[in-house]
Structure 1
Amino acid sequence: MTPDNDASTQRAALRMAFVREHLGTTATAPSAASSDAGFRSYWRSGDGHGHSAIVMDSPPELEDVRPWLRLHQLLDDGGVRVPQILARDVTSGLLLLEDLGGPTLLQTLDRDNAAHWFAQALEQLLRIQRIPPPDWLPRYDAALVRREFGLFEEWFLRRHLGVELDATEQAEMAQLADVLVDAFLGQPQILVHRDFMPRNLMPLPDGVAVLDFQDAVSGPMAYDVLCMVKDAFTSWPAAQVDAWISAYLEAAAAAGLPLPDAAHFRRDFDLIGVQRHLKVLGIFARLHHRDGKSRYVADAARFITYLMQVMPIYPELAPLQALLQRHVLPRVPAMALPA
């Protein structure tokens, strides 16, 4: 047996012992429910009497479960709908969670129900944004913005496409990083989920529940709105995106959040989006080449399209537009988005 197989067998045995301890000796062997881009995995087990629960498996040597628990408590205290914790073994990195069902919001969204579900998601987002960021929460500071920005060149351009930027291009990218840092730091800083999108929301009869919040930071208020309306895995017509942004601004103002004026918010929204789109391209390439998780890179064209939509609006993005046209579009064409 290889070391990887041995570790997998040991984790399976730990999960089985954990569910039997908390669901009883009739508990079924946990079956894979889902996984994410990190090291966590999720397993469904039943008690043999028609009730089920989810095991979150976070191997301690790979991903400490305590930051997740701390953020869970923060969100729960703030009235955000998060999965209920039924049992925990922090030492082993195992949690037993409320089973919220099968499909995520991403899997159930369509044009007919989008208005309803986006309204439910907005309600939860505003609850998140009204929670004062605690002092222990990491900040979306200049160093983090630049580090994420660098993933695009390191992993997408160099590793995935085999592109090496020349000195002029590197200087232009450094100037762009300054512009994006200013957009991030110039906005009101609030609690940011950092991956608030349909894939991380669960539809429920009374609204939506919020998942995958472990990377939350104190950062710009436009970030989570951007994640929701310019999703990694599905795209919406530009007019619909504009309508959702307007609905957010109206609701955020009513909630007393510290909004800039609409034009300033939209500029920051677009520039913050440029950083996120470039970062995600880098992360998807890294998942493919380093981690063997290749399904994500298929959505690279979506992010290139998001970039191509925004770059002509802002003169400071002209060097990036030229770079994409020179190095990226010939290799990864943009995709057609819904009208």
Structure 2
Amino acid sequence: MFSFFKKDKSKPVDSPASESSDVVENTTPVEASAPVAKQEDAAPKLGWAARLKQGLTKTRQQFTKQIASLFGGGQIDEDLYEELETVLLTSDMGVEATTSLLKNVRDKVTLRDLKDPAALKGELKDALCELIQPLEQPLNVSTHHPFVIMMVGVNGAGKTTSIGKLTHYFQSQGKSVLLAAGDTFRAAAREQLLAWGDRNNVTVIAQDGGDPAAVAFDAIHAAKARGIDVVLVDTAGRLPTQLHLMEEIKKVKRVVTKAEPTAPHEILLVLDANTGQNAVQQVKAFDDALDLSGLILTKLDGTAKGGVIAAIAKVRPVPLRFIGVGEGLDDLRPFIANDFVNALFDEEGV
């Protein structure tokens, strides 16, 4: 049975477009959602640049420590290039990106006849920014109404949390949002999404088990009936090797298109930055299956090595729409290449 949830009880609950859906109102408040909001309100408000630097602290400490040891003195020779190659590889940049960056740096050293190893830091920074710049393509949700976004990824990548944060982000832009609890395979997924819906005071279309494609279909019709701006469709987490489950998510995509011929307008793959080069393999597999339009890279606030962004840029340059550098609602923001590189190298200007 389908369920229609919204915390706001001051407005009447309309029926979703699908006549087969039973409509109920969620009148049970989600425990701890209000205290969390109060804690966030009481916390010092840092700007995004400061939170980006703060979130990348562990990544930066490891990276800059290795870089500083290379460029502290000596001369530019093959030994230095070999050490730099090791640093880049151990930073999750991958073979292809590392090879490209080294070639770029070598060419600039030769062209400018550089002798001081310290000058290589600036050249490396510029080369990295140049490599990942094409991934900087902000998401524009004003092109369709409703704008339908499918969220995909493996279990544990932070998909449901990213949906909650995206909801908050779109609301801050004055957009109305509706959530579709399409992960009907995992018992806790529905409850987690309902909690985020309650926290953000948005509608959630859900079903107790059953067909995830039907949930998506019903949600899109409900959004049309209500004039909703953005629909976020959750899907079950799956590994790229689980071919039967990948076929299931292809079905969700087909049914979304039946509900709205121009949709889905965005298919976002959520990646855990801690998985390193495995994230690149996930991008390849999901892109081949679903034709991805964007990525979200989460958990950059831990020990993750942000170099995987360079690997993705070189191997499969799918636009990186958002990055997450913390647990707060405001810690998921659009990816800006120059800000990311400056934060990684601990430079001013971000």
- Give the TM-score taking structure 1 as reference length: 0.27
Q: Which has the larger radius of gyration?
A: 2
- Give the TM-score taking structure 2 as reference length: 0.26
